[in-house]
Amino acid sequence: MDTSICAETVYLTGHGDAEIEMYVARPQTDERRGGMVFIHHLPGYDRETKEFVRRAADAGYDAACPNLYSRVGRDVSPDDAAAKVRADGGVADEQVMGDVRAAVDHLRGLPSSNGKVAVIGHCSGGRQTFLAAATLPIDAAIVCYGGLIVGETPPQLPSMVPLLDRAPDIGCPVLGLFGNDDQFPTPAQVDEIDKALTDAGKAHEFHRYDGAGHAFFSPDRTAYRVEAALDGWDRIWTFVGTQLAG
Amino acid sequence: MCTYVTETMPVAGSAKGPTGWIRVTDASVYFDHPVHATADHTLNIDLRRPADGPAARVGVELTADSARALAESILRVLAQSAGHGAA
Q: What CATH number has the domain bearing residue A30?
A: 3.40.50.1820
In the stretch 19-78 of chain B, residues with CB closer than 8 A to chain A read 26, 28, 30, 32-33, 35, 38-40, 46, 48, 50, 53-55, 57, 59
Q: Would the CA dihedral through A117, A11, A47, B44 be positive or negative?
A: negative
Whole domain around residue A167: which residue ranges? 5-243
3-state secondary structure of A206: strand
In tens, the pLDDT along B15-46 reads: 998 789 999 999 999 998 899 998 888 999 99
3-state secondary structure of B85: coil
What interface predicted TM-score (ipTM) does this complex get?
0.80
Q: Please give the tally of structural domains in chain A.
A: 1
The answer to whether residue A161 neighbours chain B at the CB level (below 8 Å) is no
Chain A residues inside the 8 Å CB shell of B40: 213-215, 221-223
Residue A36 CA: distances (Å) to CA of A183, A238, B65: 27, 14, 40
CB atoms within 10 A of CB A203: 12
| Residue A16 dihedral angles phi and psi, to the nearest 5° | 65, 25
| Confidence grade of residue B1 (pLDDT, cut at 50, 70, 90) | very low
Q: How far is B83 from chain A (nearest CA, A)?
A: 34
Q: How far is A222 from chain B (nearest CA, A)?
A: 6
pTM: 0.91
Q: Span A102-113, mean pLDDT?
A: 98
Q: How far apart are CA A245 and CA A14, in angstroms?
A: 27
CA triplet A14, A18, A23: central angle to 5 degrees?
A: 50
- A41 has pLDDT over 70: yes
- A158 has pLDDT over 90: no
- B62 has pLDDT over 70: yes
State residue A234's pLDDT score. 98
What's the order of all strands across the beta sheet hosting B57-62?
B6-17, B20-32, B42-48, B57-62
Residue A106's nearest CA partner among A230, A172, A20, A16 is: A20
> How many Å separate Cα A229 from the centre of its chain?
15
Q: Which amino acid is at A107?
A: L
Q: How far apart are CA B18 and CA A87, in angstroms?
A: 21
- A161 has pLDDT over 90: no
The answer to whether residue A166 neighbours chain B at the CB level (below 8 Å) is no
Write the DSSP symbol of residue A179: E
The answer to whether residue A190 neighbours chain B at the CB level (below 8 Å) is no
Helical residues (DSSP H) of A115-186, grouped into ranges: 124-135
Are β-strands A19-27 and B20-32 bridged in parallel, bridged antiparallel, or unpaired? unpaired
Residue B31's nearest CA partner among B70, B74, B1, B58 is: B1
Residue in B with minimal Cα distance to A213: B1
Residue A45's nearest CA partner among A6, A4, A103, A3 is: A103
State residue A155's pLDDT score. 77
In the stretch 11-30 of chain A, residues with CB closer than 8 A to chain B read none
